[in-house]
């Protein structure tokens, strides 16, 4: 158990995906439950049960309310909900406590009874919804309701009959049936690829789009060096590389989230006479006092409170996946940043799609449905862009560059000038598309 916990803590920082998915790094969580079942004291005073129940419930609620994408998990963080669950389970073993009575409430019991079915079904349903472009809050709520309905049906008509069969099957029949089911499932999985190719044959153009390489974006953004994600520790931020000033050239600071990082290489290539320095992190917008992931807040606090007061730059470019409620904050942030620079440029949000654009383009090509692309286009970025343009600024040192006014005078492009998809996922421009935009927008 201790070895599994140690591996979980170590790999959570060095190999987060392995730490999250490997049974070796999650076994300690199961082991705590096993240890509770076989080694927990058989008797305990009622006050201890009450205390453990409240503490356990609070631990779970705190983890639920405070853990987010920036939380290094499982690692140390998993101790809180895991030990909380163990305390909660043990608290009601010998006595009726406040926590046990709360969990005995019928709606809670129903969720608990079908929790395994809910665990099995929620992930594929939510993933398929996301792939199909459904991601708004209302759609997410509908998706959760669908998960509960299917989970209940699965619990009632699959899990319950299996656990409490009316007919007792011989062990050999159960094993045979299981083997047959696994073989049929394997054959179905193997045949799905050629069957899909037969039913929906790919054209050469669709195949080219499907093979589009999206991995280069990480290098272009300088991920893990000057662009931090929730998988990166703040210590990786290389200030000596990312914020190196050049006394012989104009120094431009690029600040923001991944929507700012997507412009770094494009800015560097389209403006070779300019020294682009970069402070970008996912998880929050480049706004003073913004909430969000720890790495992001820490980076922007450093830039505003330490770097800029000591290093005057010629221009600051703010870019992000803006929202309508961030318009006024963005302009006020720009006004305050003028104390450290001559000019602030706010770059508006770009086009977005409700599903990965290369996937939509392939489906559109295979099905010969060009209108499918428009159907998947998100209306939100245009609304945000209009709000930014309507607000404006009275300061001539602050300017706003609209993606839609620049690139969508008739219709927004779907491909860049080099023939690559405009966007490599749902909302990030490819390098060639970012360069097209910057060239069309003109000099900074």
pLDDT digits (tens, 9 = 90+) for 414-431: 999 999 999 999 999 999
Long-range contacts for 31-38 (Cβ within 8 Å, ≥24 apart)?
31/1, 31/4, 32/1, 32/82, 32/83, 32/86, 33/85, 33/86, 33/89, 35/1, 36/86, 36/89, 36/90
Q: Is the pLDDT of residue 132 over 90?
A: no
Q: Is the pLDDT of residue 56 over 80?
A: yes
Q: pTM of this prediction?
A: 0.71
Asked whether the beta carbons of 382 and 154 are under 8 A apart, the reply is: no
Lowest-pLDDT choice from 80-84, 113-117, 201-205, 332-336: 201-205
Stretch 49-57: mean pLDDT: 93
Q: Is the pLDDT of residue 68 over 80?
A: no
Q: Is the pLDDT of residue 55 over 90?
A: yes
Stretch 177-201: mean pLDDT: 86
The C-alpha atoms of residue 350 and residue 423 are separated, in whole angstroms, by 10
Stretch 160-186: mean pLDDT: 86
The C-alpha atoms of residue 252 and residue 317 are separated, in whole angstroms, by 7
Helix axes 115-131, 137-154, angle to 10 degrees: 140
According to DSSP, the residues that pair with 341 across neighbouring strands are: 313
The C-alpha atoms of residue 258 and residue 267 are separated, in whole angstroms, by 14
For 221-241, how does the pLDDT look when each residue is reduced to its tens digit (9 = 90+)?
A: 999 999 998 778 889 999 999
The domains located in the chain, with CATH, are 2-104 (no CATH), 216-441 (3.40.50.1110)
Neighbours of 354 (CB within 10 A): 22
Q: What percent of the chain has pLDDT over 90?
A: 58
DSSP characters over 398-412: EEEE-HHHHH-SSS-
Q: Is the pLDDT of residue 334 over 80?
A: yes
Confidence of residue 199 (pLDDT cuts 50, 70, 90): confident
Q: Is the pLDDT of residue 249 over 90?
A: yes
pLDDT of amino acid 427: 93
């Amino acid at each position: 158990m201790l070895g599994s916990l140690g591996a979980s803590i170590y790999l959570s920082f060095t190999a987060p995906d392995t730490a999250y998915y490997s049974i070796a790094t999650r076994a300690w969580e199961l082991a705590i439950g096993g240890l509770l079942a076989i080694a927990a004291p058989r008797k305990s005073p009622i006050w201890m049960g009450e205390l453990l129940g409240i503490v356990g419930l609070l631990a779970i609620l705190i983890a639920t309310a405070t853990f987010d994408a920036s939380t290094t998990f499982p690692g140390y963080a998993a101790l809180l909900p895991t030990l909380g669950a163990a305390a909660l389970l043990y608290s009601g073993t010998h006595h009726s406590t406040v926590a046990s009575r709360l969990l005995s409430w019928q709606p809670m019991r129903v969720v608990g009874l079908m929790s395994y079915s809910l665990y099995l079904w929620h992930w594929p349903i939510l993933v398929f919804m996301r792939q199909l472009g459904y991601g708004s809050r209302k759609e997410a709520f509908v998706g959760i309701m669908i998960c509960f309905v299917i989970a209940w049906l699965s619990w009632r008509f699959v899990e319950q009959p299996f656990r409490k069969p009316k007919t007792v099957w011989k062990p050999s029949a159960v094993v045979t049936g299981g083997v047959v089911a696994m073989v049929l499932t394997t054959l179905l999985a193997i045949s799905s690829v050629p069957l899909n190719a037969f039913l929906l044959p790919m054209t050469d153009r669709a195949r080219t789009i499907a093979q589009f390489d999206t991995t280069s974006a990480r290098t272009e953004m300088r991920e893990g060096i000057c662009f931090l994600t929730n998988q990166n520790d703040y210590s990786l931020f290389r200030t000596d590389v990312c914020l190196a000033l050049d006394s012989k050239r104009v120094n431009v600071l690029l600040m923001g989230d991944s929507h700012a990082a997507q412009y770094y290489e494009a800015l560097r290539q389209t403006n070779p006479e300019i020294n682009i320095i970069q402070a970008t992190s996912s998880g929050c917008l480049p706004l003073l006092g913004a909430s969000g992931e720890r790495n992001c807040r820490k980076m922007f606090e450093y830039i505003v409170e330490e770097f800029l007061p000591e290093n005057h730059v010629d221009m600051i470019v703010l870019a992000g996946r803006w929202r309508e409620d961030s318009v006024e904050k963005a302009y006020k942030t720009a006004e305050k940043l003028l104390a450290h620079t001559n000019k602030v440029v706010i770059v508006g949000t770009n086009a977005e799609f409700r599903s990965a654009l290369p996937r939509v383009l392939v489906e559109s090509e295979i099905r010969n449905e060009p209108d499918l692309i428009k159907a998947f286009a998100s209306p939100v970025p245009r609304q945000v862009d209009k709000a930014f343009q309507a607000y404006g600024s009275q300061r001539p040192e602050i300017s706003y560059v609209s993606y839609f006014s620049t690139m969508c005078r008739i219709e927004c492009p779907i491909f860049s000038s080099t023939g690559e998809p405009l966007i490599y996922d749902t909302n990030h421009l490819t390098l060639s598309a970012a360069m097209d935009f910057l060239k069309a927008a003109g000099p900074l």
